[in-house]
Structure 1
């Protein structure tokens, strides 16, 4: 695991900030609708810090466990309410006011996500231009007609200044099992057809299946160090050897060597080396290592030198203050739709529950994104915020979406849902949430153990 002194503060900051934003949505709308707020708490458990506000003597609390929060409002169902304050009790409000107060929490998560994306676009997003490097003949990229040197400028009429933008739009077509149209800089068009792809193909495999690679500068891949007892050492690779090819495919850059082994732990590859002007071929059984939330292949070698990409290979994706507003909203909408589609695939069994992550994985990614810079961390905050918004809108009792469902039923039938139905719904909601958290934690620990 990465540096704990970075991961832990980044995780606590992320959760506390997004929970505060979510609960502030409930709090602000309740205040505007003249509903009395008794307590605004960030976290659960023992209070670490608290103070009383001037209006309504509201208690503001920072508690010890920062994995949630709540806004407690005046409510006759929870305690006796003085006669002169009954009109300010939550349960006495019209169904439309209650709906607005509950909906405000998830809604402000989407607003914050749009703001984070807006700030990210104003600051500028740098990425590698999607100019194709070597493509595997078995990949979708090659079969669709892409070749080395092709420059992708759009996917389904969406501009793609960076490789990450290309994958983002291809991922949407993959989830829909539709055909994506790729436009090249010479106006040629190629098509990625996902319609016939098996439903059980995992999204995590998409990168390998598509097979896109960026153009890299040519350099000799010379080994400076071989880890003791590593797969490379056991196969006979030595410091000073030059890697010429893997499985018959020439290796002209260190990144090509990494790409050739990273997705193949446990497989055996044929490595052609140059040593003292003599060529030889060695069989290497790729080892495995834990990286972020997945297992990757490694052979245990370090390069003598690695040349970076030239500046001409990078693209700065940047907008003005006003032009970035619709871009931030568009980005929030697109990723929210993708999140819903992904959840839908999990529910109907077309995607593995292994895609569900818990607090441990979120903590790791928070730390990694914080180390990569403000742009990366803003993107992470936005994605987690909109995910929090989507999940809270699910029609599950205990979540905001469950309450909203009851309110919609109340609007339709003209009277509140019965206490018995609400109690049954509550039990179902608790069961579903416990199951969801259990799966998320299991996946987190499984990734750690792997």
Structure 2
């Protein structure tokens, strides 16, 4: 069954992968081809792909073809074999008989075309437009700096330190630049037109973005932009909510005629309807795949004054699953149990539970959890166990304490807005700036891999690229173009690495030729090319292994 799923997914990747890689390979080889022709080099073959030719057409001196193996391409130039005997009359068309600077130009043109193409792609994204999250608070962790300054989920941030903002990334950037300092935010609260000014303080923390050049950045503790879904937990089987047909995991989709997706929307709309003492309709799905149901409610008639009295809670502290042979399993914790307190302190957010468990010391007393199960309050003790946890960004494993449960909580999409530019200069600037930024990020990622700051398990091959291409194409044109631009930058950097068989290897040998005044010996070239080929093939095999291991759940 796994093999069938793998084949089905592979076929689903083919079209987007063919479009993405085909275009990027074509652009790269077009760079070599165009500059070679400009310098008078005879180009014998222009191929997209390697191996057996499945289509070809000859025009002039050049045969254009598509080959069976699509992961690359090549331009075959007359006279690129140093062992070939070139007649004197043909030397003017021979690649190796061109000046070293012309050869450098031909080789360098491929990677540079990928860079220029990325500029074009990112400029096109700016022109077409890209959906980005607005500056709206998704979640606030209790007891944190963001909570103390008065921020609430659903607040729309209008200004940071007097500077107008409209996007989540703008807020994050300003917070990161203001480390260990007082910060002022002007906000508009959900459902109100009145603006409020809030003051707080940022911390200085290690940058969670390991591919950034900034090691330390500012952080407003507890501020989260990703909202949680409007899913509810129910721990009392005789509650009003349970009697109306809701259950733990139910997704509320509409309140009083207003559709919703996020918990803060649910909280606001329910409290508004309750305060108005009127009848209203609540629509929900018992689970993600169930049909939508509808119930009529009236807070006065049904005798509830808030969400708790109605019988619903945020879902994050309801147990989603329990790991076998874990501390939670041994203590008797079960799916849908509602954790309400730890060591005598009431908790209301998943982060509070995680932080307390992570801070556990092995020689201390077991943690005391208060749990509500089907209306019955239970007390449990458990000692967290050290486990290896993989960092989702770096792929590196680290030891943390865990009790062996997952939350039932699910995220919801942030509110998006279309960001586009009709100003030509702004579009061009965006193309250059994004290409530069992604180039820096790519170089840093290679360096972190080499220095083992990022796990080699994060390296992906054709399946990963196909998956990214397929997923981004399903999202929309801008998302697909963004992946194309990023991979084009990766090809630009990768091909400049000074490894034999890559463009960077040829550039290295030509640079040595410029310094020495004569070419590198044939023996050195042969050894280097063999080494480079083995290294490249090994990397391709390793990347493909990672793809399959990731799909099968081994990574």
TM-score by length of 1: 0.73
What corresponds to 1:202 in structure 2?
Answer: none
Residue 127 of structure 1 aligns to a residue whose secondary structure is strand
Displacement of 1:92:
0.6
Displacement of 1:371:
1.1
What corresponds to 1:444 in structure 2?
Answer: 547
1:199-278 paired onto structure 2 within 5 Å: 213-214=224-225, 216=227, 219=230, 221=232, 222-223=248-249, 224-225=286-287, 231=322, 236-237=334-335, 249-250=347-348
How many Å separate the matches in 2 of 1:226 and 1:218? 11
What corresponds to 2:312 in structure 1?
Answer: none
In the alignment, structure 1 residue 399 sits paired with structure 2 residue 497: no
Quick check: 2:182–2:202 contact (8 Å CA) kept in 1?
yes
Q: Which is further off, 58-67 or 402-411?
A: 402-411
How many Å separate the matches in 2 of 1:301 and 1:73? 60
How many Å separate the matches in 2 of 1:80 and 1:318? 57
Which of 54, 57, 68 is the aligned partner of 2:72? 68
Distance 1:63 1:298, change over 3 A: farther
In the alignment, structure 1 residue 344 sits paired with structure 2 residue 344: no
How many Å separate the matches in 1 of 2:221 and 2:523? 51
What corresponds to 1:372 in structure 2?
Answer: 475
What corresponds to 1:361 in structure 2?
Answer: 464
1:112-127 paired onto structure 2 within 5 Å: 112-127=117-132
Residue 118 of structure 2 aligns to a residue whose secondary structure is helix
Distance 1:344 1:59, change over 3 A: same
How many Å separate the matches in 2 of 1:315 and 1:198? 24
Displacement of 1:443:
2.4
What corresponds to 1:34 in structure 2?
Answer: 40
Which of 34, 47, 53 is the aligned partner of 1:47? 53
* CA RMSD between the two structures: 5.1
How many Å separate the matches in 1 of 2:446 and 2:287? 44
Bigger relative contact order, structure 1 or 2 (CA pairs below 8 A, ≥6 apart):
1
Distance 1:36 1:195, change over 3 A: same
Displacement of 1:161:
5.2
How many Å separate the matches in 2 of 1:432 and 1:329? 33
How many Å separate the matches in 2 of 1:135 and 1:370? 33
Residue 452 of structure 2 aligns to a residue whose secondary structure is coil
How many Å separate the matches in 1 of 2:140 and 2:420? 29
How many Å separate the matches in 2 of 1:115 and 1:343? 24
Residue 319 of structure 1 aligns to a residue whose secondary structure is coil
Quick check: 2:321–2:334 contact (8 Å CA) kept in 1?
no
Distance 1:441 1:31, change over 3 A: same
How many Å separate the matches in 1 of 2:89 and 2:405? 70
Displacement of 1:33:
1.4
Displacement of 1:166:
7.1
Residue 139 of structure 2 aligns to a residue whose secondary structure is coil
Aligned residues between the structures: 413
What corresponds to 1:59 in structure 2?
Answer: 63
Structure 2, unmatched stretches of 5+, are 1-5, 187-196, 211-216, 233-247, 250-285, 290-319, 324-328, 359-366, 398-403
Structure 1, unmatched stretches of 5+, are 200-205
Whose Rg is larger?
A: 2
How many Å separate the matches in 1 of 2:50 and 2:534? 20
Q: Higher helix share goes to which structure? A: 1
Distance 1:60 1:220, change over 3 A: closer
Displacement of 1:165:
7.1
Displacement of 1:384:
0.7
What corresponds to 2:296 in structure 1?
Answer: none
TM-score by length of 2: 0.60
